[in-house]
Structure 1
Amino acid sequence: MKIDEAIILALGYKQEFKREFSLMTTFAVSFSVLGLLPSIASTMWYSLGYAGNAGLTWGWLVAMIGIQCVANSLAEVSSAFPTSGGLYYATAQLAPPKWAPFLSWCVGWSNWLVQITGAPSVDYGGACMILALKSFSDPSFSATNGQTYLLTMALTTSNAFLSSMPTAWLAKFNTVGSIFNSVFLIIIFLMILGGDNRVSQGYSKFNDNSYAWGITNSTEWPDGVSVIMSFLAVIWTMSGYDSPFHLAEECSNAQLATPRAIVMTSSIGGIMGFVLQLAIAYTIVDVDAAVNDELGQPFVSYLAQCLSTKMVYAATSFTIISSYFMGQACQIAASRVTYAYSRDGCFPFSKYLKRTSSWDIPLNAVWANWFIGQLLLLLIFAGGTAIDAIFSVGAIASFISFTTPVLLKITYSRKTFRPGPWNLGVFSIPCGIIACSFVIMMIPFLLFPEYRGADNVPDSMNWTVVVYFGPMLMAIAWFGISARKWFTGPKTNLSNDMVIDNDESLEVIEINYGPVSSTLVKDPEI
């Protein structure tokens, strides 16, 4: 019996996927989900729009300290519990027995909200860039909500078809996407620095340090608050590093490859993202004009300030292509989460959602997520402020689901947590404390509106409270009314005849998790 299969059996599940992802192909999916170039472009509303260049430069660096601690702590958890439903499974294992079902239920639903808003928000951002490019070439064109919705639907639908491919094809496709993302980011970085035409406009080649690192507060809050609010852009941009966790059951040598892919994604992504944003901060001509331009897309407006028309077309096109690969990678991660939670009966129609196709992929989960995504995109018709909430939902939902098992690991399970082969050693507790403190601080700020008092009208309020906490309250109510009677947390899918009788399997399990009779093995037959 293979080591990976022995580990998943020890965790209480039988092997159902083909392990055709390696460290590099898992990283490729994760880096595609991260989608630095389209993510930075889509979230400039928040980085540049809230705090100006400070949100791109030193704000990014400060936020990355907390985010890197979250990512490293999450990687340690993934090494111990390498399953598709990792966050939810780890929470159940690390929580007090009385609270384990409720906490795992909440983490599962919160993480699911991250996943189902991922592809729609990415594809919505891509659609906005396509339409902004059309407006750039034809100033008389102004996209309607219906056109935006239909274009976004077309992107998500084609992503869903691609996500229905066999695992080996998905691995190769996302490797290509990751390469394109990296290459396009480097090309645009060089275009910005080499093709900058500021001098011909009467400006210096680059902005001085005070402007490139300075605050341009566009909110009605103090400068410090506006910078913290701009962290939303960093958090949403960097939130894709959890994807390897959800692919753990399709990855070989998952206990090492999964955490390594998480750390590679967060660290490489953080460095490359900062370098690109630094170039933007030193070449932007007018922050206010970029944010409030009629094109409706700050990144395209920024490019038009410092590049020639042909370069604007090229840079935006590269960003759109990267966005498409990112949306498809988000669909893959979302389908694995839906499958994992359906396997434990968390959703209505779970018996259908947990089915795999003849290619051993969760095909029903892919298309169920697509359908829910189309419903979420109806927020487009409620206005820009309402649909923008899917970005902040992705940030707050991911933070809550990522850090709940980390918090349990450094508190209730501090003395009983058994780390996997990839771990932080003596830095585990300090890193976890910084991660949890950062998240606790950020949650209220992610709910802040741009304006306050009488200026905070429905068209400009932060709808995250409704879009995130509305579904979460319904999920909690469902637990209180019904699910508490039958939901006991992750459950084994092993049959009684699936016993571990192979010497290699026993050795692997005991090395990683202690005696086979430990609580990690759910089936008494094992």
Structure 2
Amino acid sequence: MMATAQRSVADEPVTSVLPGGDVPYDPNGEYSADDEVLAALGYKPEFKREFSLFTTFCVSFAVLGLLPSFASTLYYGMGYAGTAGMTWGWIVAMIGIQAVAMSMAELCSSMPTSGGLYYASAVLAPQPYGPFAAWITGWSNWLAQVTAAPSVNYGIAAMMLAGASIQNPSYVPTDYQTFLLTVFVMLIHATMSSFPTKWLAQINSVGSTFNFVALIIVIILIPAGTDRPERGLPRFAPSSEVWGTIYEGTSFPHGVSVLMSFIGVIWTMSGYDSPFHLAEECSNANIASPRAIVLTSATGGLFGWFLQLVVAYTVVDIPAALESELGQPFAAYLMQCLPQKTVLAILSLTIIAGFSMGQGCMIAASRVTFAYARDDCFPFSSTWKKVNNTTKTPVNAVWGNCFIGILCLLLIFGGELAIGALFSIGAIAAFIAFTTPIFIRVFFVKNNFRPGPWNLGRWSIPVGVVACAFVLLMVPILCFPSVTGADLTAETMNWTVVVYGGPMFLAIIWWVVSARKWFKGPKVNIEHLMLGHEGNIVNGINGDKDRELGGGKNGGGRGSVDKVIVDEGKDA
């Protein structure tokens, strides 16, 4: 039977990031502008878009968690290179980090999906390497995400127990107590992260606001309340000492020590990818999400440097802070330059901010798990990709990540260097995932990249080159142990290469043995029509003609062929 009416899909009022105005086509329903862009990328809208630019930024800034992140990684930032690494070292690191953030934001504007970097790697990689690029990016990003909440919660649990030690000097926290307290916090976060999206947005707005306010209070309170003069010291250390003295915290030359101290900067500044993973829950995603990425990185970089300066100018004894029986260098540092009540107040602010950060990390991790499971990247993907009918959130993914995080916390019983591997993993795994699609875009796609409405224009490739160079330099540096020669033992070894490299090696073996046969990267789960440049536009009345579009033209991640009928109103 002939169709009674037809129209070209090209006439649909859609703004798309695909070439030549490619658009999704759903003859059975209506899409918002955001949903049309998502469907054009091959995905069915499954979440409510209840995040705005501000609330997305709030989650991202909460995940960034400047104050608790700085407190948790002070051992590395100050312990490897001292105050020099904290002052001008932070500025050098931020050049590379900001380049990564801006390049990522450009990808997010072009491809605003929960899969984020994983999706970008798949569709940008040359044929037939898209699935493998997605596999490596996905697993690396997932490792960063799943270790984020346990590492953050370990840090705040250690601060809680350090506070107890300050009030009662005879109390020395045990590993067992630290483990149980951290697990308790993990369970609270998993429960909260199972709430509906609207509740999560409101909770994280409050938490992020507190995080920012607490940061400002601490930046002001430390220099204003320091009692260094009462201890026979100048109110602030001389600038020549702060900027020019490199602490002998490693066995390597000073330049390498400064680079090694970047682990604190990189881990602290690794939460700005959250807007990418929340893009399917954000309104006006291909503009709001990239803006949230850049805003988070820029704001975090600036205020993080202010915090670094405050600590660098007020620290009294670096070795004493690192080796204190309190078990938490930040708490030990505060005890050196502030009255006890002020110390407890700052620790309280940091713990509350850290609680918000840990919860934001768990939300972001669950979205990543959901997105990858949706494409069968994980074992038992059918379980992890389920969206709860009541909350409309991936509750199974939340609790799966929580369980894996608790297993990671068993590293507490291996000592400080073992649990410290969680922080190194977070830094390396995150930035490898961040940079893989950027590298493909810069060196393979080049000027053929299809930018979204937020883009870097002619600066896109130069900024991407800086981002890639920075990460290629830092990945091996972050695997260096702090000592060499005869001092290098199992206890002083940097186990990052094992704890990160082990799972990634297994993932690659899995790919070679099995996954390459069935994993095709991001998959289309909605019937849609992509208008390309091959003349697949319906003109005039042409009864029963079907159009077949090859999946390969949209990127390395698709291997299927979608057949769609373009006659509107056609009877079966």
Please report the TM-score for the alignment, with normalisation by the length of structure 2.
0.88
Equivalent of 1:423 in 438, 445, 455: 455
Equivalent runs, 1:342-357 vs 2, <5 Å: 342-357=373-388
Secondary structure of 2:445's partner? coil
Count of residue correspondences? 512
Q: CA deviation digits over 1:39-96, x for unaligned, max 9?
A: 0000001011101111211110100000000000010011111000011111011111
TM-superposed CA distance for 1:415, in Å, is 2.8
1:327 is aligned to 2:361 = no
1:405 is aligned to 2:444 = no
- Partner Cα distance (2:521, 2:246) in 1: 47
The answer (yes or no) to whether the contact 2:68–2:350 under 8 Å persists in 1 is yes
1:366 is aligned to 2:405 = no
Alignment-mate amino acid for residue 474 of structure 2: M
Alignment-mate amino acid for residue 301 of structure 1: A
Alignment-mate amino acid for residue 87 of structure 1: L
- Partner Cα distance (1:437, 1:488) in 2: 29
Aligned to 1:520: 554
Aligned to 1:510: none
Aligned to 1:512: none
- Partner Cα distance (1:55, 1:129) in 2: 23
Secondary structure of 2:428's partner? helix
Aligned to 1:76: 106
1:239 is aligned to 2:270 = yes
Aligned to 2:69: 39
Alignment-mate amino acid for residue 461 of structure 2: I
TM-superposed CA distance for 1:187, in Å, is 0.9
Secondary structure of 1:78's partner? helix
Equivalent runs, 1:77-226 vs 2, <5 Å: 77-213=107-243, 214-226=245-257
Secondary structure of 1:475's partner? helix
Aligned to 1:466: 498
1:305 is aligned to 2:327 = no
- Could you say what the CA RMSD is over the residues aligned between the two structures, in angstroms? 1.6
The gaps in structure 1 that reach 5 residues or longer are 508-515
Alignment-mate amino acid for residue 168 of structure 2: D
- Partner Cα distance (1:525, 1:68) in 2: 42
Equivalent of 1:4 in 22, 34, 44: 34
- Partner Cα distance (1:499, 1:222) in 2: 58
Alignment-mate amino acid for residue 428 of structure 2: I
Q: CA deviation digits over 1:147-169, x for unaligned, max 9?
A: 11100000111001000010000
Secondary structure of 2:206's partner? helix
- Partner Cα distance (1:139, 1:455) in 2: 32
- Partner Cα distance (1:58, 1:524) in 2: 57
- Partner Cα distance (1:18, 1:43) in 2: 36
Alignment-mate amino acid for residue 289 of structure 1: A
Equivalent of 2:312 in 276, 281, 290: 281
The answer (yes or no) to whether the contact 1:129–1:297 under 8 Å persists in 2 is yes
The answer (yes or no) to whether the contact 1:10–1:520 under 8 Å persists in 2 is no
Equivalent of 2:285 in 254, 267, 276: 254
- Partner Cα distance (1:165, 1:378) in 2: 27
TM-superposed CA distance for 1:520, in Å, is 3.2
Aligned to 2:466: 434
TM-superposed CA distance for 1:492, in Å, is 1.1
- Partner Cα distance (2:484, 2:400) in 1: 38
- Partner Cα distance (1:430, 1:9) in 2: 31
Equivalent of 1:484 in 507, 513, 516: 516
- Partner Cα distance (1:56, 1:396) in 2: 20
Alignment-mate amino acid for residue 385 of structure 2: K
Q: CA deviation digits over 1:120-145, x for unaligned, max 9?
A: 00000011111111112222211111
- Partner Cα distance (1:357, 1:423) in 2: 35
Identity %: 58
- Partner Cα distance (2:521, 2:220) in 1: 50
Equivalent runs, 1:261-280 vs 2, <5 Å: 261-280=292-311
Please report the TM-score for the alignment, with normalisation by the length of structure 1.
0.95
The gaps in structure 2 that reach 5 residues or longer are 1-30, 538-548, 566-572
Aligned to 1:387: 419
The answer (yes or no) to whether the contact 1:42–1:125 under 8 Å persists in 2 is yes
The answer (yes or no) to whether the contact 2:60–2:271 under 8 Å persists in 1 is yes
- Partner Cα distance (2:563, 2:136) in 1: 27
The answer (yes or no) to whether the contact 1:116–1:369 under 8 Å persists in 2 is yes
Alignment-mate amino acid for residue 203 of structure 1: L
Equivalent of 1:22 in 52, 69, 78: 52
- Partner Cα distance (2:480, 2:64) in 1: 24
TM-superposed CA distance for 1:22, in Å, is 0.3
The answer (yes or no) to whether the contact 2:75–2:329 under 8 Å persists in 1 is yes
1:316 is aligned to 2:340 = no
Secondary structure of 1:525's partner? strand
Secondary structure of 1:141's partner? coil
The answer (yes or no) to whether the contact 1:12–1:520 under 8 Å persists in 2 is no
The answer (yes or no) to whether the contact 2:172–2:325 under 8 Å persists in 1 is no
Secondary structure of 1:43's partner? helix
TM-superposed CA distance for 1:525, in Å, is 2.4
- Partner Cα distance (1:354, 1:208) in 2: 55
- Partner Cα distance (2:55, 2:260) in 1: 34
TM-superposed CA distance for 1:499, in Å, is 6.0
